[in-house]
A = this chain, B = another copy of it.
Amino acid sequence: MERVPVLKIGDILLVSIQIDMEDQVALQLQEDLADRIVGTGCHGVIIDISALDIVDSFVGRTLATIASISRVLDAETVVVGMRPAVAITLVELGLSLPGIRTALTVELGMALLARDRQFTLPDDDEDDADEAVVTAS
């Protein structure tokens, strides 16, 4: 039971971290997630950490690594569900999770990813332009 499941929901992969992030678990998660991004072609990854009481430097580094791997594979990562106490401790420890985007809930994270994707999809605009030309002719 030492494996964090990766759930596909539409164009997004959802990971809910509930178990202790030991080395092996973190490595396995990175591998599973990279495999699923490539296998599914998803463009968004949401990592829920609402079950975590503590986010130490190792977990912070793991999250940053996952975000970097996802970015290389053309997927954006959003960390959601951080508890207020976790945020306070993180900053007190001098960890501000650079390069990691956050949202309060899974739904807000999905909205963030959807919005981003809309801004970075030039194909849609091109389609509109084509249609406009067709209509004009």
> Chain A residues in contact with chain B, CB under 8 A?
1, 3-5, 7-10, 14, 16, 18-20, 48, 50-53, 81, 105-107, 110
Contact = CB atoms under 8 A, between A and B. Distances in A.
Contacts of A1: 18-20, 51-53
Contacts of A48: 5, 7
Nearest to A17: B18
A3 B16 CA distance: 12
A16 B7 CA distance: 9
A5 B50 contact: yes
Given A1-B18, A19-B19, A8 B51 contact: no
A16 B51 CA distance: 11
18 contacts: A1-B18, A1-B52, A1-B53, A4-B18, A5-B16, A5-B81, A7-B16, A7-B50, A7-B81, A7-B105, A8-B106, A9-B9, A9-B107, A10-B107, A14-B14, A16-B16, A18-B18, A18-B19
Contact of A18 (B5, B14, B52, B81): B5
Nearest to A49: B5
